[in-house]
Amino acid sequence: MTYLRPEIRHPESKRNALGYTRQYYEGALSTLCAGCGHDSVSGAIVQACFELAIEPHRVAKLSGIGCSSKTPTYFLGNSHGFNAVHGRMPSVATGANLANRDLIYLGISGDGDTASIGMGQFVHAVRRNLNITYIVMNNGCYGLTKGQDSATADEGSKNKSGHVNPFHSIDLCGLAIELGATFVARSFSGDKAQLVPLIKAALSHQGFAFLDVLSPCVTFNNNPGSTKSYDYVREHMEVTAALDYVPEKAAISADYGEGEVCAVTLHDGSQVILRKLANDWYPSDRIAAMKYLHETRQRGEILTGILYLEATGRDLHAMLNTHRRPLNALSEEDLCPGSAALERINAESR
């Protein structure tokens, strides 16, 4: 199937602080199925980057293999992209990040790419608190190979062919919280109002920002009986707190009722403001987050919003104490100790 995208845009399209239109943040036309949740997530990424006025060339987008991992082609066409091998995006992103700490890293993966073949790399990227926004487009199935259950498919969930999944599912958010991720959130591709500020907050977070986005597969897993269908997710969403992302540190305005608001200042000075907090839950309480997650799950609900947020964690560069200048910008004078130092080493070896 070929698509033609209209090139004509309204001459007075809204421009961001850099003078770019939203169009500048788009990519190639999607080749995913019509109605695929992933396209909505791509749209939310475009919107978030446009609103944040990110310079596209300062973003590196990386992915693994699968339907979700195709999406980086469909957004941020002016950014460098890297389609790695299946399940191995986290290691490539780790190397890229070590080479240049100044870029923004956006990792895109799927439930197969992360929860099965890439589980080993995912958990280790989390525990290193790699500075990356890591989005899983989670549809509970393998789309490209025609709809096999993935490891995030819920026990008892029925797929299109009527097969009922007998296995426990892996909750990637619960796992990320357990492993020490510093930003953990869940959202739904169909809820742009929630998703866009979450992506903005994640991109502004320094450390591992994990977003599990339920993103239904219209072709293989959108049937009655599936717990990853549009209808099911819509009907079972519960929200930890409504979220506002405020680009700069600002006084919390008066219309938030007292006791219902929590503001978290991120590393770059921007703020995440959470309203109407659920009882007994605060964003930086890891144990409460786990409890809340388990409780909603037991009730058959899907907990969304920010689940856990710790803005002060040390990322991989801090842990390794690497130089503040990007390693890829160091010159030969910085790197090569020269012949005199080598002569000393020779002398020590006699």
Region of 276 on the Ramachandran plot (φ > 0 left; ψ -120 to 50 alpha; else beta): left
Closest approach, Cβ 56 to other proteins, in A, equals: 7
Is 58 an interacting residue with respect to other proteins (CB under 8 A)?
Answer: yes
Q: How far apart are CA 261 and CA 110, in angstroms?
A: 33
Q: How far apart are CA 185 and CA 111, in angstroms?
A: 15
For other proteins, what does the binding mask look like between residues 328 and 347, x meaning CB under 8 A? x-x-x-xxxxxx-xxx-xx-
Residue from 53, 85, 170, 263 binding other proteins (CB under 8 A) = 85
Those residues with Cβ within 8 angstroms of residue 14's Cβ, 6 or more apart along the chain or in another chain? 21, 22
Torsion, CA 157, CA 162, CA 166, CA 169, rounded to 10: -30
**195 SS3 class:** helix
Closest approach, Cβ 345 to other proteins, in A, equals: 7
Q: How far apart are CA 114 and CA 119, in angstroms?
A: 5
Closest approach, Cβ 207 to other proteins, in A, equals: 16
Q: Which stretch binds other proteins (CB under 8 A): 6-14, 184-192, 255-263, 315-323?
A: 315-323
Instruction: Compute how many residues bind other proteins; rule: CB under 8 A.
Output: 60
Residue from 22, 124, 160, 267 binding other proteins (CB under 8 A) = 124
Q: How far apart are CA 32 and CA 221, in angstroms?
A: 15
Is 221 an interacting residue with respect to other proteins (CB under 8 A)?
Answer: no
Q: How far apart are CA 32 and CA 52, in angstroms?
A: 26
Is 260 an interacting residue with respect to other proteins (CB under 8 A)?
Answer: no
Is 57 an interacting residue with respect to other proteins (CB under 8 A)?
Answer: yes
Residue from 42, 71, 73, 227 binding other proteins (CB under 8 A) = 73
CA atoms in the 13 A half-sphere facing the CB of 301: 12
**277 SS3 class:** coil
Question: Can you read off the two tokens belonging to residue 82?
Answer: 């890297």
Is 91 an interacting residue with respect to other proteins (CB under 8 A)?
Answer: yes
Q: Is the C-alpha dihedral spanning 238, 147, 38, 173 positive or negative? A: positive
Closest approach, Cβ 120 to other proteins, in A, equals: 5
Is 349 an interacting residue with respect to other proteins (CB under 8 A)?
Answer: yes
Q: How far apart are CA 246 and CA 272, in angstroms?
A: 6
Residue from 45, 60, 126, 172 binding other proteins (CB under 8 A) = 60
Is 81 an interacting residue with respect to other proteins (CB under 8 A)?
Answer: yes
Query: Which residues bind to other proteins, rule: CB under 8 A?
Result: 55-58, 60, 62, 72-73, 77-85, 88, 90-100, 102-103, 120-121, 123-124, 128, 316-317, 320-324, 327-328, 330, 332, 334-339, 341-343, 345-346, 349-350
